[in-house]
């Protein structure tokens, strides 16, 4: 989400006429990005707490939005809002650091009253990424 979201924000394919259909599809996903982000958090924490299996998580994500490539536009919308609310420099500083990207997005989300991730998500994600 962080890598592809930022990359697609920087190299916005919606300006390419042949990519119009992709751009329209991504716009729809970006409009509802908060519900996608919430589902991703729920599945992630369920996996961490072992209340669902890897296969169950995969099935949930494929049936909902992950299977149709919506992860990129969710990350792209997060990157756009981060740049708009906390600045380009802060966004650039997060490249390659998923937790920093999400924490910086949180600042933007707080200003815009968007969906916020809770502390447990950050704690678990940091632990997994250090392993």
Alpha-carbon distance of 14 to 3, in angstroms, equals: 18
Q: In the prediction, which pLDDT does 102 show?
A: 93
Q: Give CB contacts under 8 A, 24+ apart, made by 117-120.
A: 117/37, 117/41, 118/41, 120/45
Are 4 and 75 spatial neighbours (Cβ–Cβ below 8 Å)? yes
Contacts of 127 (CB under 8 A, 6+ apart): none
Alpha-carbon distance of 56 to 22, in angstroms, equals: 28
Q: In the prediction, which pLDDT does 85 show?
A: 96
Q: How many CB atoms lie within 10 A of CB 79?
A: 26
pLDDT tens, 59-111?
888 776 555 566 788 888 899 999 999 999 999 999 989 899 999 999 999 99
Alpha-carbon distance of 131 to 110, in angstroms, equals: 30
pLDDT tens, 27-55?
777 788 888 888 888 888 999 899 999 99
């Amino acid at each position: 989400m962080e890598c592809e979201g930022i990359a697609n924000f920087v190299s916005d394919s919606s300006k390419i006429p042949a990519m119009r259909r992709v751009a329209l599809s991504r716009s729809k996903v970006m409009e509802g990005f908060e519900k996608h982000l919430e589902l991703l958090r729920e599945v992630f924490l369920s996996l961490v707490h072992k209340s669902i299996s890897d296969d169950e998580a995969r099935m949930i994500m494929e049936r909902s939005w992950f299977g149709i490539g919506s992860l990129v536009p969710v990350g792209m919308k997060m990157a756009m809002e981060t740049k708009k609310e906390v600045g380009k420099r802060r966004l650039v500083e997060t490249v390659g650091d998923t937790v920093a990207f999400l924490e910086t997005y949180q600042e933007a989300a707080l200003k815009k009253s968007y969906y916020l991730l809770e502390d447990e998500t950050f704690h678990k994600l940091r632990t997994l990424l250090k392993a």
